[in-house]
Amino acid sequence: MPASTPLLTTRHFVFTMAAAGLTALTSCAEPPEEAEAKIVEVGAGSYSLTRPEPCEPLPETIYRTDDLKGATPTNQWWSSLVWQPFSQSLFAHPLAMLCHEEGLAVTYPGDVIDGSSGNIMGGGIAKEGDFFIGHSEVSDFPSARCAAFSDWFITAEFAKDSAALRTSIGHGSPFIYGRVKGGKARIVFAEKPQIWSGDENSSTLGISVRGRHYGIFGATGSTWEGMDGSIFTNQSEKDYFSIALLPDNQPDNLKLFSRYAHNHVVDTRTTPKVDGGFLKTNYSFTTEAMEGSEDGTVFSLYPHQWKYTSSPLTEQSYQSVRGEMKIGTGTEFTTSVPIQGLLPMLPLEGIPDRDRMVAYLKEQSAAANPEFKDTYWEGKHLGILTTLSGIAEVIGETKLQDEFNNEIKRRLENWFTASPGENSPLFYYNETWGALIGSVPSYGSDSQLNDHHFHYGYFIRAAATVARLDAEWAKKWGPMVEILIRDIASPALEDPLFPHMRCFDAYAGHSWASGHADFGDGNNQESSSESMNAWYGMMLWGEATNNELIRDTGIYLFNTERTAVEEYWFDVSGTNFPKDFPNVALGMIWGGKGAFATWFSGDIDCIHGINWLPFTPASIYMGRFPDYVKKNHDRIVEKREGGSDYNNGWGDLVVMFNALSDPKSAANYIDSNPDCSLEGGNTHAFMYHWIHTLERLGLNDASVTADHPFVNVYIKDGKRTYAAYNFGDTPLEVRFSDGTSMTAAPKSLTVKP
């Protein structure tokens, strides 16, 4: 972005392919029509249309309706719906649903949440649920298929011959909206419900089942047959109905929900904008009135939303495994989140001993570069090279910097070039699923589409470092970098190659790692910090290449997911974890639970550390709540086998995390243990730089924002230090919310005491 562009002004970014030059990229990146063409050229690079031998095949069948066009979303809370004939549990919150051969099962797990086991358990959903929604003429649908989707709503269609049932559900919604064809809507309760409002002549009923309260809404003039038993059938000339979870069994609430019951939600969209030092995100609902003229709907907000909104809400709420969900009504709400400033590298002032740092860098440079690895471990190596390059840059070691950058280029260019018959390293595009898959894959990144944002984030950040210094390289190889970006988080609503925001859940506020979500507990994400690393890479790439759409999309993803990490992985304010939960953090977020665990280890260093790594300059976001950092660190030391002897396990990461609260003790450790043991993606060079930056300049001052996203503000003994990186060719005036301003020199990092 040119230095003269004012950042204080509000910037709306529209998710279209035309924005930011993506139209040209699309035209050269669409799969060719000729069947024999197997290599697609993209800039100086290319990808294959042929699955290489190391990659397991993806399923040939996607369970969606024939009229649903475009790339199929994966890695969402509802993804199991498109991977198999019937879904796994769908945790929309506050409701949980399950598609099976008789229809859609529904339950409310919010009243059974328990943390006493050391995990946060919310209960799953059985086939009968509290009830299931079925069809009067069919009890053996062959499948449930995705018939529509938007940012956080979906429609599941059950069809057989001329009979069909469509149910629409979404995050935060207490409603299930139904349409029926070739028969009547039927509700089969797990036990005979208590009817506390309405009778056999009513279209609207208030019922309780298993202690949970629901409103049942048939079209005006319809009735419900079978009310003396546990199977209700809607006798109606209309094809629509709805059911809503109620916060209680009071008639006033049933009346409130009745106002919105027949406004079916048909579209949901997030519209973010960067406004000075804040990210403002609008969440909007488009409804279709089946009857009446009422507008809007009833919705509930997660903690990461209601803590940052000034939109009016009611006094009522639901409970979920994420915490309290507060209820609102209308067509939209907006959140305003302070933007955490980030730097591409840390300041020179954080290196007290230059000779020691040069020795660390030379040791790394002298080490043999490994052979090409799978996409995850290749990414980890690229991450090391990227961080080392930044350190070499700030201390003026140009030769070392060139060595690291040249190795990054060599590796990326090899990955970004596909040849006929080649197996690796390369990327191939699966046309059925609309996915770019690296070979050699790992952890199900091929046949399950797992973890793409974890893996590709390292590639994107590495490419951004090169692009910042070499504009010609960026022009040649940038189209391949942006193919990776589009695979994990395409900004376009109608990208011809990829789904919109594959890995990111716009309403839950964080990413999901599993492509298929084929688990009884729904989808999951373990390493929130590797997700953050991907969005950091997008910010850097967008700024380095003057692509505002990619940069601002990265700002949106990074700062939204940051709030989710603070609320759901860390619970920094102590408001969301159950009172009987004994731990201070979670290792994994699932749709239906929170797990103090990882996929690979039960060691406490790993359970915590997987949500810290990779440590980069962007890891400063974890220090916005230093009191929480201390609580987290102290619990780890209390429980870990090595205690305060950090020279084992992932002790280096524990020390680096603690530096966000107590940098003095961290500095004492690294100075006394210059060759301490390291986690595989860490280096002594960055550990030294990270700790001493915080020790010498201060902790992250989260109270100050700026009109430029590439800043840090440190505070020590009440004194602030400001750092800003200017990617442009001319000086840049940066203004901070505390009234301070500074001029950042072109193409460099400027520090103002």
Instruction: Please name which of 619, 481, 592 lies closest in space to residue 545, comparing C-alpha atoms.
Output: 481
Instruction: Please name which of 496, 110, 550 lies closest in space to residue 319, comparing C-alpha atoms.
Output: 110
Instruction: Please name which of 167, 176, 272, 270 lies closest in space to residue 215, comparing C-alpha atoms.
Output: 176
Let me know if 451 is a catalytic residue: yes
Instruction: Please name which of 668, 663, 669 lies closest in space to residue 651, comparing C-alpha atoms.
Output: 669
| Dist CA 293 CA 111 (whole Å) | 34
Tell me if 297 sits within 8 A of 38, measured CB to CB. Answer: no
Number of neighbours of residue 254 by Cβ within 10 angstroms = 25
Instruction: Please name which of 348, 304, 336, 194 lies closest in space to residue 696, comparing C-alpha atoms.
Output: 348
Give the DSSP H or E segment for 535.
helix 528-544
Give the distance between the most distant pair of CA atoms in the chain.
86
Tell me if 123 sits within 8 A of 108, measured CB to CB. Answer: no
Sole residue written with tokens 């060759």:
675
The phi and psi torsions of 463 (rounded to 5 degrees) equal: -65, -35
Let me know if 526 is a catalytic residue: yes
Tell me if 522 sits within 8 A of 89, measured CB to CB. Answer: yes
Structure tokens at 200: 């056999």
Give whole-number Cα distances, 419 to 99, 268, 436, in Å: 43, 42, 16
- Cα angle for residues 686, 692, 696 (degrees, 5° grid): 150
Q: What is the dihedral of CA 85, 454, 435, 152, to 10 degrees?
A: 60
Let me know if 332 is a catalytic residue: no
* Burial letters 47-58, b for 16+ CB under 10 A, else e: bbbebbeebeeb
Three-state SS for 720?
strand
Catalytic residue among 451, 495, 521, 566: 451
Tell me if 381 sits within 8 A of 682, measured CB to CB. Answer: no
Give the DSSP H or E segment for 697.
helix 684-697
| Dist CA 494 CA 500 (whole Å) | 7
Instruction: Please name which of 350, 394, 383 lies closest in space to residue 663, comparing C-alpha atoms.
Output: 350
Cis omega before residue 626 (within 30°)? Answer: no
Output 392-397 pairs: Cβ under 8 A, ≥24 positions apart: 392/361, 393/345, 394/345, 394/346, 394/347, 394/348, 394/351, 394/749, 395/348, 395/351, 395/354, 395/357, 395/358, 397/358, 397/361
**DSSP assignment of 498-514:** S-BTTTEETTTTEE---
C-alpha gyration radius of the chain: 26
Tell me if 404 sits within 8 A of 385, measured CB to CB. Answer: yes
**DSSP assignment of 339-383:** PPP--SS--GGG-S-HHHHHHHHHHHHHSPPPPP--HHHHHHHHH
| Dist CA 696 CA 692 (whole Å) | 6
Give helix 354-366 / helix 398-415 axis angle, nearest 10°.
30
Sole residue written with tokens 């993209």:
42
Catalytic residue among 239, 530, 566, 679: 530
Tell me if 74 sits within 8 A of 516, measured CB to CB. Answer: yes
Q: What is the DSSP letter of 482?
A: H
Catalytic residue among 239, 397, 446, 526: 526
Structure tokens at 714: 């440190």
Task: Show which residues are catalytic.
Answer: 451, 526, 530
